[in-house]
């Protein structure tokens, strides 16, 4: 390879690298634009009404799959999201919705979901569906879950994903919040997404 050809390749590589860094696709969390399907579902909300994804268009929607009997991961994750939302300007925070989709519809009735999500704030909405609806939405986002063996009192644990999917105001997937992501990073990405609207 001649030195001139090598310089051209290096220059092209640097150009691609610089354009990738400036295209607005890099988040402090994990960008998933184009990798995950858009927001789409029909479920029951904790207020007892049937809702669809379109009801949340115009908001930044954070979708988390969990259950109210979860001993640690769910409350920790929701508390982290609340802390991130509390860091946002009021004008941005009011346009964020955290959609808590139960993976335990057998035990998570609508009233229980309402009580559970209300503890975290007005932006949190509990959603519940039939087992068929749950299977449909978890397959759409490739989220796994499973039920443990019931103990003597009938209680059981549910294994589930800990990731939070973030969708923009038009329902397009933008980034993924993972367990290791810090509150500051989550808040910064939410604020940045709000500015892009």
Report the number of distinct structural domains present in the chain. 1
**9 located within any domain:** no
pLDDT at 106: 93
Angle of helix 183-195 relative to helix 73-86, nearest 10 degrees, comes to 50
Angle at 43 between CA 42 and CA 47, to 5 degrees: 135
**13 located within any domain:** no
Note down the domain range covering 130: 26-195
pLDDT in tens, the chain (197 residues): 444 434 433 333 433 333 333 334 689 999 999 999 999 999 999 989 999 999 999 999 999 999 999 999 999 999 999 999 999 999 999 999 999 999 999 999 999 999 999 999 999 999 999 999 999 999 999 999 999 999 998 899 999 999 999 999 999 999 999 999 999 999 999 999 999 97
81: CATH:
3.40.30.10
Give the span between the Cα atoms of 187 and 86, in whole angstroms. 8
**72 located within any domain:** yes
**40 located within any domain:** yes
pLDDT at 11: 39
**14 located within any domain:** no
Q: If residue 176 lies in a helix (H) or strand (E), which one and from where to where?
A: strand 173-177
**17 located within any domain:** no
pLDDT at 4: 44
**20 located within any domain:** no
pLDDT at 25: 61
pLDDT at 137: 97
The Cβ of residue 117 has, within 10 Å, a number of other Cβ atoms equal to 22
**8 located within any domain:** no
- Burial class for 189, CB neighbours closer than 10 Å (0-12, 13-18, 19+): buried
pLDDT at 22: 35
In 3D, which of 54, 42, 43 has the Cα closest to residue 167?
Answer: 54
């Amino acid at each position: 390879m001649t030195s001139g050809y090598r310089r051209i390749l290096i220059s092209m590589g640097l150009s691609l690298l610089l354009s990738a860094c400036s295209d607005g696709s890099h988040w402090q969390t994990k960008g998933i634009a184009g990798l995950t399907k858009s927001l789409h579902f029909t479920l029951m909300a904790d207020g007892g009404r049937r809702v669809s994804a379109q009801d949340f268009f115009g908001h930044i929607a954070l979708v988390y799959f969990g259950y109210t009997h979860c001993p640690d991961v769910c409350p920790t994750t929701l508390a982290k999201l609340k802390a991130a939302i509390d860091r946002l300007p009021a004008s941005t925070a009011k346009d964020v919705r955290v959609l808590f989709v139960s993976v335990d519809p057998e035990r998570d009735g609508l009233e229980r979901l309402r009580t559970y999500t209300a503890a975290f704030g007005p932006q949190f909405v509990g959603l519940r569906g039939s087992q068929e609806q749950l299977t449909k939405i978890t397959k759409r986002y490739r989220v796994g879950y499973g039920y443990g063996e019931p103990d003597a009192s009938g209680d059981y644990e549910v294994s589930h994903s800990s990731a939070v999917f973030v969708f923009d105001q038009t329902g397009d997937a933008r980034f993924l919040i993972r367990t290791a992501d810090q509150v500051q990073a989550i808040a910064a990405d939410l604020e940045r997404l709000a500015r892009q609207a």
